[in-house]
Amino acid sequence: MGARFVIPLIFFLALLMSVGSGIGDCAVQLNAHLNRASATLDDNVTYTVSISGESAGDPEFPDFNGFQILTGPMTSTSISIVNGQMSQSASYSFVLLPMQAGDLTIQPTKINQGGQVFASNPVTLRVIDRQGPAPANPPHQQGPHVQGPGGPPPGHAGDSSQQQEPGDDIFIRVTPDKQEAFIGEQVTLTYELFFRANLANVSFRQQPTTTGFWSEDLNSPRQLDVRETVLNGKKFQTALLRRIAVFPTTAGDLTVGPLIVQLDVRSQRRGRDPFDPFFSSPFDDMFGRTQTIVRQSESVVVRALPLPEAGRPADFSGAVGRFGIKAETDKTTVKTNDAFTLKVTLGGEGTLQPAKDLEFPAIEGVKEYAPQKKDVTGIQDLRFVSERSYEYILQPREVGQLTIPPIKFSYFDPVARAYKTIRSTPFIMNIAQGEAEPVAQQGLAIGKEEVTLLGMDVRYNKPVPERLRLGPHLDQRPSVWAGFVLPPLLISVFWLYQRRRDRFMVDRRYARSMKAWKRARKHLSLARKYQHKGAARESLEHLRLTVLGYIADKLNVPEAGMTAGGLDDLLAARAAPAAMRQSVREFLTSVDFAMFAPSQTDAAKTAELCRDAEAILKHLVRLRTLKGQ
Amino acid sequence: MNARRLTLALVIATALLISMPVSAANDGLALTFQQGNQAYDLKNYEQALAHYQQLIRMGVVDGRLYYNMGNAHYRKGEIGQAILFYSRAQRLLPGDPDIKANLTLARASTRDKLPTDEPALPFLVLGWPFFNLSRDSLFAWALVVYLITAALILFRISSRSDVIRRRATQAAALLALIFIFVAANYSFRLRADVIRAEAVVLEPEVTVRSGPGESFAEIFKVHAGAEIKIHNIRENWFHVSLTNELAGWVPSTAVERILQDP
């Protein structure tokens, strides 16, 4: 533990002493190298450029022509002291995948330091084509670890020479179950990972491309099931990555692309750098460093053979595999016009996807509706299996024995390398007499058709109506317009009537004034009646009330106790003409005299007084001063 | 005076006014109609039309009669006459689906391709009475609503209860709005029937000229069944326009107004 504190302390003091002399005077040096001198198209290589000396600018990396950059740049910096001279360095790494065979050169990395350009050395990688040796012995195929030109600076923390390179012991092997297959025949590809390193994580970077194939995933374990195996005398751990089934869809040499995975590898440390504890984390000591590498499988070429022309039946469905056929009905006894279902099932190993639909033979006396088709697929013992069912709804129309003929299906058997035709079992059914046209009653939702328009024609005539419309329009009849005119008139009259009635009820003066004429006429009429009867006194009494009552009603004064003098005063107050006042006064005086001396009053006098009363009343009615009351 | 009795009397009197002269059951008329239909069934369309024309002379103004006449003309291949009578029938029975179907079919048989002005949705909704009720129906509805409104006003005047008066006022206000709506539709119907003076071309081919006379230049030709609008009359010539905005003068004998009333 003491060294952990002492060594950094010494380093720090030395750093302080050398400030301004050691680092600042150093020129910038760039060294580029690859972790290997040669590789196949499936190997990845690590390009590292180390920059030492005082550097302020960012490096300009070359175009990695001919390579695909998988990861990078990954950066690390370090400071080292050699013979009392302290130097600073930084390194940048790229993981590259060569894309073409031949000698690939990576141009220098450059850095601009105050107008002065420093450049690294170019590096060259020899890339061997994939068609080279098969990856039966991958550790040997992968080229020896070669330090790049210039080599890393002494004491470099990321120096690969001090670590075991994990990539040499990790590879993916792909195993096809056959190299050639007929169109539509299954080829199974198994991708396995072989490794001798401590793997932390595995993830798929690119799935195999299957151009020219139709593919199905057979097995993709979520967790690696690792087991041990010995390969060329070396102990490896191996795990299944993926297993896929591919079916060629066209003839010729077809290629399944590589499976590319990314792996996190924990590297095992061999030596111990005295300065390393200063820069490494406690986790590095515990688990070792983790490095991300990329591995890819070989591509697989499958030779797809066309289906043979010889022996191909005319009704060949297009399906390739090994299939069986089965037919069944849902009823054993059926009546005419009663629908039943015939289910025909095809099933077996292979895919029915390209297969044409079954041809159902026309049966006389049976109405056939469009079948319902259902496809089911699955995996059984690493083989792709398919099942297709057709449900025909049939409706016999005739009584008797109904024979459902066998239904044929032709396919190509790649194992037997021959075409085969299979047939379903024929059925014989007895059809009994049923109800006529029951389809609609049964509510079958099938067999409905769009209404077909056969032609266009006008709709038929109207029948004789019960009543025919005669004459002009309603609005051309004046009598109907009365309906619009009458209501306002009625409303107005009714409103006035209501208003008058209401005033009669609340306004006594108004009510008396309005009734004055009527009362006066009534009294005059009674006066005449009594005069004819010879009842002079009663007649005179009514004559008095005719005039006095009228004026009292009009002026709304009590008529009881009213004298001729008092009445004259009232008329004078309303500016009645003097002649009028005099006639009223004289009339009332005459009446009063006659009433007090009835013996001197004869019938002629009473009749004269009646005439006088009527004349006075007519004058009073015209009197304006009384009208306004 | 009892306001309720007055109101009732008002409504009954108006109902009688409306219904009495509009239609009549007449065995003679029905027989003639029946004879026309029988002749039509026997494909004797001339005879059918003769019976139907007799009904018109007897004062029948009925949408069903015009519809049957349209059918007879259609069967005779007289598309112009067919469209004329279907249009007349539609004026009296606007909501009748048979008339609409046959008019559409007859229009499809015409030679001139003319744009039809389809009303916008708001007009279809607000103008539902306009598009579906006849002039007589709209007038009758307006009158009935008017009378009920008047009756409610009478009721309001006569009532002594404040609650009843308030309710009657609200109901009368609502009915007044309905009356305005119906009356507006009626006025548009009347305008469409009378003022627009639509007509139909009856002759197989008519030359439309730039002025009211044979000496004026020919502008275009229209064919039987083309529906036109009359704008002006000069002696025996009509100034007409088509729905595609083309306009000119045609002899008055070549076309016939849909509305027969002068």
Q: Is there a domain that residue B18 lies in?
A: no
Residues 6+ apart with CB under 8 A from B44: none
Give the total number of structural domains in chain A. Answer: 4
Q: Which two tokens stand for residue A404?
A: 């459902």
Q: Is the CB of residue A269 less than 8 Å from the CB of residue A288?
A: yes
> Looking at B141, B172, B195, which one is the last position of a domain?
B195
User: Contact B74/A458, CB-based, under 8 Å?
Assistant: yes
- Pairing of the two strands A316-329 and A408-413: parallel
Does residue B231 share a domain with residue B188? no
- The answer on A42 and A17 residing in a single domain is yes
Mean of pLDDT values over A474-482: 85
Flag whether residue A463 sits within 8 Å of chain B, measured between CB atoms: yes
User: Cβ B61–A457 below 8 Å, yes or no?
Assistant: no
Task: Tell me how close the Cα of A504 comes to any Cα of chain B, in angstroms.
Answer: 16
| Residue A115 touches partner B, C-beta closer than 8 Å | no
Task: Select from A254, A234, A258 the least CA-distant residue to A42.
Answer: A258
Print burial letters for A383-402: b (CB count within 10 Å at least 16), e (below 16): bbbbbbbbebbbbbeeeeeb
- pLDDT for res A156: 33
Check whether residue A112 and residue A181 sit in a common domain: no
Whether residue A73 is preceded by a cis peptide bond, meaning omega within 30 degrees of 0, is yes
Contact A152, A48 (CB under 8 A): yes
Residues A113 and A240 in one domain: no
The answer to whether residue A94 sits within a structural domain is yes
One domain for residues B65 and B139: no
Residues B168 and B242 in one domain: no
Q: Are residues B147 and B133 in the same domain?
A: yes
Residues A100, A185 within the same domain:
no
What's the mean per-residue pLDDT of chain A?
Answer: 77
A125 and A11, same domain (yes or no):
yes
Spatial neighbors of A414 by CB under 8 A, at least 6 apart, are A181, A182, A184, A185, A320, A321
Say whether both B204 and B156 belong to one domain.
no
For chain B, what is the radius of gyration of the CA atoms?
Answer: 23
In this predicted structure, the answer to whether residue A361 has a pLDDT above a threshold of 90 is no
In this structure, the strands spanning A180-182 and A116-119 are: unpaired
Segments forming the whole domain that contains residue B162: 122-195
Domain C-terminal end among A279, A306, A333: A306
CATH of the domain at B76: 1.25.40.10
**Pairwise pLDDT comparison (B144 vs A271), residue with the higher score:** B144
Q: Do A470 and B150 touch (CB under 8 A)?
A: no
A477 in B contact zone (CB under 8 Å): yes
Question: Same structural domain for residues B78 and B129?
Answer: no
Tell whether A56 and A129 lie within a shared domain.
yes
Percent of chain A with pLDDT over 70: 80
Last residue of a domain, one of B79, B108, B137: B108
Give pairs for A359-362: CB < 8 Å, separation 24+. A359/A315, A359/A407, A359/A408, A360/A390, A360/A392, A360/A407, A361/A405, A361/A407
Q: Is A136 part of the contact surface with chain B (CB cutoff 8 Å)?
A: no
Let me know whether A295 and A350 are in one domain.
no
A77 vs A263, residue with greater confidence: A263
- Give residue A624's pLDDT: 74
Q: In this structure, are B145 and B93 located in the same domain?
A: no
Taking CB atoms and an 8 Å limit, are B23 and A468 in contact across chains?
yes
| A214, A247 Cβ separation under 8 angstroms | yes
**Do A67 and A187 reside in the same domain of the chain?**
no
- What DSSP state is assigned to residue A453? P
Query: Do residues A301 and A331 share a domain?
Result: no
Locate A536 and state its tokens: 């002079």
**CA–CA min distance A312, chain B (Å):** 57
Phi then psi for residue A380, to 5 deg, are: -140, 115
Contact predicate A290/A262, CB 8 Å: no
Task: Give the end of a domain, one of B108, B139, B164.
Answer: B108
Write down the residue that tokens 């299957």 correspond to.
Answer: A210
Note whether residue A29 is domain-resident: yes
Confidence of residue A269 (pLDDT cuts 50, 70, 90): low
pLDDT band of residue A23 (cuts 50, 70, 90) is very low
Question: Does B170 share its domain with B215?
Answer: no
Q: What's the domain count of chain B?
A: 3
* Rounded Cα gap, residues A273 and A266, in angstroms: 18
> Do A8 and A143 belong together in one domain?
yes
CATH number at A7 reads 2.60.40
Contact B134, B91 (CB under 8 A): yes
Mean pLDDT within A269-278: 44
Asked, for residue B17, whether it belongs to a domain, the answer is no
Partner B contacted by A501 (CB < 8 A): no
Is B8 part of any domain?
no
Report how far apart, in Å, the C-alpha atoms of A600 and of each of A168, A524, A568, A605 are.
Answer: 170, 22, 26, 9
Q: Are residues A169 and A61 in the same domain?
A: no
Whether B96 and B128 map to the same domain: the answer is no
CA dist A246 and A476 (Å) reads 89
Among chain A residues, CA nearest to B19: A474
Residue A602: other Cβ atoms inside 10 A: 12
Query: Is B156 in the same domain as B171?
Result: yes
ipTM: 0.79
Tokens linked to A241: 């990555």
Please indicate, yes or no, if residue B212 is contained in any of the structural domains.
yes
B61·A458 Cβ contact <8 A: no
Whole-angstrom distance, CA of residue B249 vs CA of residue B217: 10
Interface test with B, best of A456, A479, A480, A485 (most B CBs within 10 A): A480
Q: How far does the CA of residue A468 sit from the closest CA of chain B (Å)?
A: 5
pLDDT (tens digit, 9 = 90+) per residue, B195-225?
A: 667 899 999 999 999 999 999 999 999 999 9
Residue B55 within a domain: yes
| Count of CA atoms in the C-beta half-sphere (13 A) of B216 | 15
**B86 and B34 assigned to the same domain:** yes
Contacts of B30 in chain A (CB under 8 A): 464-465, 468
Could you read off the pLDDT of B51-77 as tens digits, one per residue?
999 999 988 889 999 999 999 999 999
Tell me the whole-structure pTM to 2 decimals: 0.43
Mention every residue, 6+ apart, whose C-beta is less than 8 A from residue A184.
A247, A248, A249, A307, A318, A319, A320, A321, A350, A351, A354, A412, A414
Would the pLDDT of A144 be above 50? no
Contacts of B168 (CB under 8 A, 6+ apart): B152, B153, B155, B156, B159
Residues A174 and A151 in one domain: no
Among A15-24, A316-325, B91-100, B175-184, which stretch is predicted with the lowest mean pLDDT? A15-24
Q: Are residues B218 and B179 in the same domain?
A: no
A80, A87 Cβ separation under 8 angstroms: yes
pLDDT tens, per residue, chain B with 262 residues: 455 666 667 667 666 655 554 555 577 888 999 999 999 999 899 999 999 999 999 888 899 999 999 999 999 999 999 999 999 998 888 889 999 999 999 988 888 888 776 777 777 788 888 888 888 889 999 999 999 999 999 888 888 888 988 999 999 999 999 999 999 999 988 887 776 678 999 999 999 999 999 999 999 999 999 999 888 898 899 999 988 888 999 999 999 988 865 4
Domain assignment present for A338: yes
**For position B246, which CATH number holds?**
2.30.30.40
Structural domain of A560:
506-627
pLDDT tens figures, A612-621: 999 988 888 8
